[in-house]
Amino acid sequence: MTRASSKDVARQAGVSIATVSHVINKTRFVSDETRQKVLDAIDALGYRPNAVARSLVTRSTRKIGLVIAEITNPFFTVAARGVEEEAINHQYNIVLCNTDEDPEREGESLKLLAAQQIDGLIIAPTGVRSPDLLALAESGVPIVQIDRSSPDLLAPLVGVNNEEGAYQAIRYLIGLGHRRIACLINFDVISTQRERLRGWERALREANLPVDDALIVRADPRFYGVLPGEAGALSLVGPSGQRQGMRSAYQLLQDLLKSPERPSAIFVASNQLTLGTLYAFRACGIRCPEDISLISFDDHDWAPLFNPPLTVVCQPTYQLGQIAARLLLQMINGEPAEAPPPLSVELVTRASCSAPPVIVS
């Protein structure tokens, strides 16, 4: 049995299809009497308006695309939550896509979303210049970038002050007495990673500490795929499946940890790498914070329960999502809207940092 249409309702109620439309949308006055007849007919037939047909004529789907890197990552998850809350309050649906930091997947998703005629897009772009993304923008679909930005795309960015966050983290470590502070960053096509690296560098320079390239560990796409020691690394992959960024960092980090000049502290610029770092510590028999201090970006509910409790740079993640959604909704409604200034972050000190170990020589 096929679902009833507005035509069926009209017939049943003995009115025109226009009237049906108008009682549903309250878009012009209808006498109490007729309205009631229509309402009854709707009830009797179990009629539900077809949003697809409506979209075709109104050119509005009430759907917004949300493209993030990893739905498994608490950062994106919490941000998505903020977006969802705001969207649902305004009767918007969310169409969700994962990119896995893969520009190709990003492109696929964007094409699908474009075809689906989303009313707007919130995206944490991979960072690789994306023709699909630019085309979408060109076609007039409102876009807001969240967390990070994409090259050549003129769309407001809702993010935090990454450089400042990194800077504060490093200052804190320096204050604790650290001199050799490593920086572990994710792919540097991601704008936040470049910014955080800059913060790291600025703090070091300011303190007249050497900015040594050997102190930078980059999780880089080149390391994707089969790695030496893969089998061993695989054991750190948890129930949620692949975590490639983590694996590559894992290898590189171990090299650094085994090097003669190993750092006394490490700043992890992406929460995607924190887990791998902790596992690498274990694999190398390194205690934290006794042997090495750890400070990472992004807080989450579990951070205080880790061993050791994690000192982190905390972002207002939920708000990021909320603000992005509000901004997008404004843009969709043609209201004046401008990108907010970068939100500020906060250093949350817990137990994963301490003074550097005393070197006994």
Partner DNA sequence: CTGTTAGCGCTTTCAA
Partner DNA sequence: TTGAAAGCGCTAACAG
Interacting residues toward its own copies by CB under 8 A? 1, 3, 46, 48-53, 55-56, 61, 63, 66, 71-72, 74, 77-78, 80-81, 84, 88, 91, 93-98, 105, 108-109, 111-117, 135, 139-140, 238-241, 243, 275, 278-279, 299-309, 314-318
Tell me the closest approach of the beta carbon of residue 186 to its own copies, in angstroms.
17
> 206, 268, 269, 131: which is closest to 280 by C-alpha?
268
Q: Is 302 helix (H, G, I), strand (E, B) or coil?
A: coil
Nearer to its own copies, 97 or 173 (CB): 97
Is 139 a residue that touches DNA (CB under 7 A)? no
Among 1, 11, 12, 29, binds DNA (CB under 7 A): 29
Identify what 95 binds: its own copies, DNA, none; CB under 5 to 8 Å per kind: its own copies
| CB 38 to DNA: min, Å | 9
Contacted entry of its own copies, DNA, none for residue 58, CB cut-off 5 to 8 Å set by kind: DNA
Task: Judge whether 109 and 88 are in contact, CB under 8 Å.
Answer: no
81 is a site residue for DNA (CB under 7 A): no
Residue whose structure tokens are 């042997």: 291
Q: Supply the DSSP symbol for 215.
A: G
Write down the least CB distance from residue 141 to its own copies, Å: 10
Instruction: Answer yes or no whether residue 53 interacts with DNA by CB under 7 A.
Output: yes
Q: 145 and 125 in contact (C-beta within 8 Å)?
A: yes
Distance (Å, whole) CA 280 – CA 294:
12
The values of phi and psi at residue 311, to 5°, are -85, 130
**138 CB-near residues (< 8 Å, 6+ apart):** none
Size of the site for DNA (CB under 7 A): 32
In whole angstroms, give the CA distance from residue 120 to residue 14.
39
Question: For the stretch 18-33, what's the b/e string if a residue is b when 16 or more beta carbons lie within 10 angstroms of its beta carbon?
Answer: ebbbbbbeeeeebeee
Given candidates 1, 26, 46, 57, which one binds DNA under the rule CB under 7 A?
A: 57
Contact call for residue 231 and DNA (CB under 7 A): no
Instruction: Name the residue nearer to DNA (CB basis): 3 or 287.
Output: 3
The residue among 19 and 296 lying less far from DNA, judged by its C-beta, is 19
Nearer residue to its own copies within complex by CB, 248 or 317: 317
- Shortest distance in whole angstroms from residue 108 CB to its own copies: 7
Specify whether the CB–CB gap between 343 and 316 falls below 8 A: yes
39 binds DNA (CB under 7 A): no
Report residue 325 as tokens.
């959604």
In whole angstroms, how close is the CB of 349 to its own copies at the nearest point? 15
Q: Which does 25 bind (CB under 5 to 8 A by kind): DNA, its own copies, none?
A: DNA
52 phi and psi, to 5 degrees?
-65, -50
3-state DSSP of 8-34: HHHHHHCCCHHHHHHHHHCCCCCCHHH
Q: Which stretch binds DNA (CB under 7 A): 27-35, 72-80, 178-186, 299-307?
A: 27-35
By beta-carbon proximity to DNA, the closer residue of 2 and 361 is: 2
Tokens read off for 124: 């944490």
Q: How far does the chain reach from its first CA to its final CA, in angstroms?
A: 84
CA distance 135 to 130: 9
Of 1, 26, 33, 226, the one binding DNA (CB under 7 A) is: 33
Task: Report yes or no: 63 and 96 within 8 Å, Cβ to Cβ.
Answer: no
Q: Write down the least CB distance from residue 138 to DNA, Å.
A: 17
Residue (of 239, 274, 235) closest to 253 by Cα position: 274
SS3 58: helix
18/44 with CB nearer DNA:
18
Name the pairing type of β-strands 216-218 and 293-297: unpaired
CB 277 to DNA: min, Å = 48
CB of 205 to DNA, least distance (A): 55
Residues engaged in binding DNA (CB under 7 A): 2-3, 5-7, 14-22, 24-25, 27-31, 33-35, 47, 49-50, 53-54, 56-58
